[in-house]
Amino acid sequence: MDQKPFSQGLLSSEADSQRTLYPYVTGTSVVALKYKDGILMAADMGGSYGSTLRYKSVERMKSIGKHSLLGASGELSDFQEILSYLDELILYDNMWDDGNSLGPKEVHSYLTRVMYNRRNKFNPLWSSLVLGGVKNGEKYLGMVSMIGVHFEDNHVATGFGNHLARPILREEWHENLSFEDGVKLLEKCMRVLLYRDRSAVNKLQIAKITEEGVTVSQPYSLKTFWGFSAFSNPTVGAEGSW
Amino acid sequence: MFRNQYDTDVTTWSPAGRLFQVEYAMEAVKQGSAAIGLRSKTHVVLACVNKATSELSSHQKKIFKVDDHIGVAIAGLTADGRVLSRYMRNECINYNFTYESPLPVGRLVVQLADKAQVCTQRSWKRPYGVGVLVAGLDESGAHLYYNCPSGNYFEYQAFAIGSRWQAAMTYLEPRFENFMDSSREDLIKDALISVRETLQEEKLQISVCTVAVVGVGEPFHILDQETVRKLIDTFEIVREDGSPAPEPGDAAPDLGEAAPAAAAEEGAAPMDI
């Protein structure tokens, strides 16, 4: 580790190159909900470079160990760093080889500690994480923000999803959704996001985790409708304006 | 064991492939007063004999709560035991802080064993002179482990350590196969009887023994003296041979028919501490 004079720490201008200031390549919302058999999570496959929709095949959801599924929005390189940490965590967990394994609650708690610690050092991992899983029949769904704010709920979302998807979920989510209803509900949320979030791309994956394990769907597109009459002559009400 | 030229250092092997210092450390465990552990599918019970250096002093604390789901009983150098208990408490609390989950007993036991092993392979250290009975509950059920100064550990259905441990084992050996299905009360009763077995001449009194329990829905705790007294009274009333004893708490219990098993408790033979 490089040594810096004590007075400089991480907050001087020279040290700016050592810590995260802004995100560069980012993923947009992740939406997830609990259903009858486990958790359903959806995220599109876009990686934006500022306002450019640069990368269109980014997998933003990964399985962790036997019992968990992680989805991330925000800086994608930080997501990859987090996956690297979790890889090591799961490796050591497996090396015990003693029948015990880290469940979603433990992974969520671990991630919270990591994110909060980085925030305290003014060098955050610029990601919002969604952690879902099932262990011993118990469903778990939680979120961790880049500053270490964490909580559990029946449905969660990151970024724009909080503003556009959560209100839909609050109205329409209920206990013991079937798989089909869960997917329909997620697609409804993702469609709204596709219409209204400029960093959304129309190529998404839906992942499901149950007691049996994780399945991530093949990428697919949502059907959209743009045939509104207001779009055929958009400037009709704005004549004479600048 | 006899003194020999290979026993000065823990890092010296004998020609027969033994580390005498480690074996001497295990002897220290046998010098301490007895500690006994038993487990069923849902509960683990620890019971131990409390010795005091004199009538005027307090009793040695031998049972330590390590976490809500783990507790230990020690025999041997109790100072070493305290230090190891503090280490175990630290490990549990750190794990809980990071993972918001109780540390699995099996993992704590391995960490403790590895810590003990280090002391058998450094010339400037000495082995811990204490045997640790670890009682705990985790996702995979109720567990009882014994950690040895050598760094070895094993899981047990029932085990006894400390002075006159053989007497307790003699009681436990024919019965241990049934412990898995024992009720909590029967498990405690068997623990108390095992403790009594190690007190050859003394009567089993609450001042001499401590009992602790951990189980499903029951965090690790030491039973208070009143509860223990009632339990002792309950099983003193029906002895193993079935003959009833009169008022409990008598200094010299009188039996209807002289039973050889109970006769060992009478008499005033001098006790070694």
Q: Which residues of A touch B138 (CB under 8 A)?
A: 100
Q: Is the pLDDT of residue A235 over 90?
A: no
Give the model confidence (pLDDT) of B44-74 as tens digits.
999 999 888 888 888 889 999 999 999 999 9
Note the pLDDT of residue A224: 95
Strands (E), chain B: 35-39, 43-49, 63-67, 70-76, 130-138, 141-147, 153-155, 158-161, 209-215, 218-222
**Contact flag B99-A136 (C-beta cutoff 8 Å):** no
Band (pLDDT 50/70/90 cuts) for residue A241 is low
Q: Helices B78-99 and B105-118 sit at what angle, rounded to 10 degrees?
A: 130
**Contact flag A99-B100 (C-beta cutoff 8 Å):** no
Query: Can you spell out the DSSP letters for chain A?
Result: -----TTTTTTSSGGGGGS--S-SEEE--EEEEEETTEEEEEEE--EEETTEEEES----EEEETTTEEEEEEEEHHHHHHHHHHHHHHHHHHHHH-SS----HHHHHHHHHHHHHHHHHTT----EEEEEEEEETTEEEEEEE-TT--EEE-SEEE-THHHHHHHHHHHHH--TT--HHHHHHHHHHHHHHHHHH-TT--S-EEEEEEETTEEEEPPPB--------HHHHSTTTT-TT--
**Contact flag B106-A106 (C-beta cutoff 8 Å):** no
A110 contacts chain B (CB < 8 A): yes
From B105, B34, B64, select the one nearest B212 (Cα to Cα). B64
Q: What percent of chain B has pLDDT over 70?
A: 86
Band (pLDDT 50/70/90 cuts) for residue B247 is very low
Nearest to A113 among B98, B106, B107 (CB): B98
Band (pLDDT 50/70/90 cuts) for residue B200 is confident
A103 contacts chain B (CB < 8 A): yes
Q: How many CB pairs under 8 A join A and B?
A: 33
Give the model confidence (pLDDT) of B128-153 as tens digits.
999 999 999 999 999 999 999 999 99
- Which range scores top for mean pLDDT: A95-99, A200-204, A238-242, B257-261? A200-204
**How far B98 CA sits from the closest chain A CA (Å)?**
5
Note the pLDDT of residue A240: 74
Residue of B150 and B208 predicted with greater confidence: B150
Give chain B's mean pLDDT.
Answer: 86
Instruction: Give mean pLDDT, residues A168-195.
Output: 97
A188 contacts chain B (CB < 8 A): no
Note the pLDDT of residue B25: 96
Q: Is the pLDDT of residue B261 over 60?
A: no
For residue B177, the 8-state DSSP code is G
Task: Return the structure tokens found at A180.
Answer: 């089909």
| Shortest CA distance from A95: residue in chain B | B107
Q: How far is CA B169 from CA B26, B162, B164, in A?
A: 17, 11, 9
Note the pLDDT of residue B263: 37
Cα separation, A95 vs A114, whole angstroms: 22
A175 contacts chain B (CB < 8 A): no
Residue of A55 and B268 predicted with greater confidence: A55
Band (pLDDT 50/70/90 cuts) for residue B175 is very high
Note the pLDDT of residue A5: 56
- Mind telling me the catalytic residues of A? 20
Q: Which residues of A touch B106 (CB under 8 A)?
A: 96, 98-100
**How far A2 CA sits from the closest chain B CA (Å)?**
27
| Shortest CA distance from A113: residue in chain B | B98
**How far B153 CA sits from the closest chain A CA (Å)?**
14
Note the pLDDT of residue B245: 44
Nearest to A105 among B100, B138, B140 (CB): B100
Note the pLDDT of residue A2: 55
Q: Percent helix, strand, coil in chain B (nearest 5)?
A: 35, 20, 45
Q: What percent of chain B has pLDDT over 90?
A: 73
**Contact flag A110-B98 (C-beta cutoff 8 Å):** yes
**Contact flag B101-A105 (C-beta cutoff 8 Å):** yes
**How far B99 CA sits from the closest chain A CA (Å)?**
4
Q: Is the pLDDT of residue A135 over 80?
A: yes
Q: How much is the pTM?
A: 0.86
**Contact flag B99-A99 (C-beta cutoff 8 Å):** no
**Contact flag B107-A100 (C-beta cutoff 8 Å):** yes
* CA A214-A218-A219 angle, 5° bins: 125
Give the model confidence (pLDDT) of A11-70 as tens digits.
777 777 788 889 999 999 999 999 999 999 999 999 999 999 999 999 999 999 989 999
Instruction: Give mean pLDDT, residues B87-100.
Output: 98
| Shortest CA distance from A92: residue in chain B | B107
Note the pLDDT of residue B237: 52
Q: Is the pLDDT of residue A3 over 90?
A: no
Note the pLDDT of residue B12: 95
| Shortest CA distance from A108: residue in chain B | B99
Mutate which of A100, A109, A110 to disrupt the B interface (most B C-beta within 10 Å)?
A100
Q: Is the pLDDT of residue B36 over 70?
A: yes
Band (pLDDT 50/70/90 cuts) for residue B35 is very high
Q: Is the pLDDT of residue A122 over 60?
A: yes
A102 contacts chain B (CB < 8 A): yes
Give chain A's mean pLDDT.
Answer: 93
ipTM, two decimals, is: 0.88
Q: What percent of chain A has pLDDT over 90?
A: 83
| Shortest CA distance from B103: residue in chain A | A100
**How far A107 CA sits from the closest chain B CA (Å)?**
7
Q: Is the pLDDT of residue B233 over 90?
A: no
Note the pLDDT of residue B257: 36
Task: Return the structure tokens found at B4.
Answer: 């020999």
